[in-house]
Amino acid sequence: DGGITQSPKYLFRKEGQNVTLSCEQNLNHDAMYWYRQDPGQGLRLIYYSQIVNDFQKGDIAEGYSVSREKKESFPLTVTSAQKNPTAFYLCASSKQVNTGELFFGEGSRLTVL
């Protein structure tokens, strides 16, 4: 079955550590996205990628980095520069960057201790 796989589902991090969240899709979608969700807030866009080897900052990119070396993969690194990283992180994809619905992975819940 086609879909998006995120790992890990739950992650605990000490302050000052970088962590990388994995996102893999087998939907053959060109566009991939990373969102952050905090309680009581809508999803906020961190980074997006229209195509391999290209990615753009979203609304809240500070303290995050991404790469898109393969069409299937769009990992997100939460760096120590991110001041409030505890959140629910959602990876999504769409056929192209501005059309069609978004398909989401199951999410990664990051807690900073």
Binding site for another protein (CB under 8 A): 31, 33, 35, 40-43, 45, 48, 50, 56, 58, 88, 90, 97-107, 109
Nearer to another protein, 6 or 82 (CB): 6
Nearer to another protein, 5 or 28 (CB): 5
Q: Residue 112 Cβ, how far from another protein at the closest point, in Å?
A: 18
Per-residue tokens: 43: 């999803």
Q: Residue 80 Cβ, how far from another protein at the closest point, in Å?
A: 26
Nearer to another protein, 23 or 112 (CB): 23
Q: Residue 23 Cβ, how far from another protein at the closest point, in Å?
A: 12
Exposure string (b/e) for 35-49, b if CB count within 10 Å is 16 or more? Answer: bbeeeeeebebbbbb
Coil, strand or helix at 14: coil
Per-residue tokens: 56: 């753009």
Residue 61, classified by CB atoms within 10 Å of its CB into exposed (0-12), middle (13-18) or buried (19+), is: middle
